[in-house]
Amino acid sequence: MILHDKEIRRLISEDRMVENWDPELLNPASLDLRLGGTLMVEVEHTSELQEQSIEHCTPENPYWLAPGEFLLAETQEIFNMPNDVCGVFCLKSSRAREGYEHSHAGFADPLWSGSKLTLELVNARRFHSLPLYPGLKIGQMVFVITAGIPSISYAEVGHYNNQPRVMPSWEGSL
């Protein structure tokens, strides 16, 4: 069952399911998420993505995501998922219509906690760059209650708990 606004607000208030959230971004059945201040970008001399701050960027002076460019980004929000709730990240349709793409890897397991969501972003446009800056409404999290409490705990088997910043693959570089 997908959670509605009142239940999302209750879980945030009682269980701190989402930290650093803005109540203005609550939708009928999701929570809008904002882009954080750190990216991991590809550079020519190494296959490992390099961390880059965009804290100084604004809508008027953004970081420009070039056509075809891939990078990792983070949300401003930090998640502490309950043991019976998972979350699915969806790119905002307005961003998709502008040419942003996301790799559909933004799944939040029950008991994923203390972490910002890492986003895999690509500019699908052929000729024009797309702006990135902290606070950009990039997507939304849809929260789903599980049919019961899982027997496998992400708190024990997960690789991305307590990651308060954008994270590369835990499996290492290419």
Per-residue burial over 10-22, b if 16 or more Cβ lie within 10 Å, else e, is ebbeeeebbeebe
Return d(Cα 37, Cα 53) in angstroms, integer: 6
Nearest by Cα to 77 from 49, 128, 37: 37
Q: Are 112 and 160 in contact (CB under 8 A)?
A: yes
- Which two tokens mark 46? 């190494």
List, by residue number, the catalytic residues: 120
